[in-house]
Structure 1
């Protein structure tokens, strides 16, 4: 893991964005997967600005989803797809044909998983993966005790994830399940960027970097990935130094 500690959230977001810009310039037709939580929003803002300045083109990239809340779709405020549309895809003019996302409202979620696995397989593997980390160490909706050998699947959400979910939605959503890329997809990605900010993430980032690898804390599996960049602000890195 290549660890970078920034002074604040803005600097962390900018550093992560600059690495993404560099990677996409190296391979303009990259298969890209970005997490859709709150932490990446600053990075998205930097990418949007880079596109507007002509420093970056995303026209050849293909974008896939990391995860989605089961029962929610693109029209639901706070869903992963709606968040990506609002903060990245629409401001950057990403064409729908270049986006392949889980549909959390589908009547056949297993078919959604197969379609995602087939899409990734048709493009090789994910070139560039941007992840946040949950308070419980989850990556996407790979919750504690997730199978490290799995591809896309539907999972029951951990109690911590359900508690935290309320911050994403303007009104109450009874989310119980998620659909997500599996750990194996994440570990096969060419480049992984992990970002974390705030003192609330200090303990989990200590575990991410220092704890033995265990499915109880899924983020620890990234210690085994050969090409991971970690960007934290000083608060998130407080227990790492």
Structure 2
């Protein structure tokens, strides 16, 4: 595990974007998965600038969904797809045929899981996986108690996730379920980049890097991955051991 601590959020975001750019240059047809949420927004900003300036070509990449709120899709403000559309896919001009996202409004969500698993298998594995971490340690929607041997699945959201979800929506929504890649996908990914910022993430990052590996804190499983880069700002790293 490689740890990088930057002075502030923008420096961390710039470093993260540069890592992703270099990985895409190394393998131009990478299968890429990037979390939505607030933490990656700065990374997306720097990635978009690089694409628009011609510093990296993403035309051969394929982009897949990490997770989505059940009952939402890209037409819903606050959905994971809408966030990525607004902040990355559309500004970069990504071809729709190269975006493979969960349709979480489908009646048959198991079919969505199977379709995503088959897509990843057809590529061998995820090449570049950008993850954030929840306040409860979740990765995607792999909530506390999630199995480490699972692929794509539908889950009931943890109470903490439901509470935090309010910040993503302009109107009140009662989200109960999520669809997500499984932890086994994450462990099989070629390169994982985990990002966190702010004092609010200091406690969970201390557990993530120094705590016991347990599915009660899913992020701890990344201690077992052979190629993880952890990018933090100084506040998020403030409780880590020297």
Q: TM-score, normalised by structure 1?
A: 0.99
The CA distance in 2 between the partners of 1:83 and 1:48, in whole Å, is 14
- Residue of structure 2 in register with 1:84 after alignment: 84
The CA distance in 2 between the partners of 1:124 and 1:69, in whole Å, is 26
Number of residues paired by the alignment?
Answer: 241
What's the CA shift string for 1:194-222, capped at 9, x where partnerless?
Answer: 00000000000000000010000000000
Residue 63 of structure 2: SS of its match in structure 1?
Answer: strand
The 5-angstrom pairing of residues 63-142 of structure 1 reads: 63-142=63-142
- Residue of structure 2 in register with 1:47 after alignment: 47
The CA distance in 2 between the partners of 1:104 and 1:86, in whole Å, is 18
What's the CA shift string for 1:90-125, capped at 9, x where partnerless?
Answer: 000000000101111111000000000001011110
| CA-based RMSD | 0.4
What's the CA shift string for 1:103-154, capped at 9, x where partnerless?
Answer: 1111100000000000101111000000000000000000001010000000
The CA distance in 1 between the partners of 2:192 and 2:218, in whole Å, is 15
- Residue of structure 2 in register with 1:208 after alignment: 208
Residue 113 of structure 2: SS of its match in structure 1?
Answer: helix
What's the CA shift string for 1:6-31, capped at 9, x where partnerless?
Answer: 00000000000000000000000000
- Residue of structure 2 in register with 1:148 after alignment: 148
Q: Where do 4+ consecutive residues of structure 1 move more than 3 Å?
A: none
The CA distance in 1 between the partners of 2:31 and 2:37, in whole Å, is 19
Residue 192 of structure 1: SS of its match in structure 2?
Answer: strand
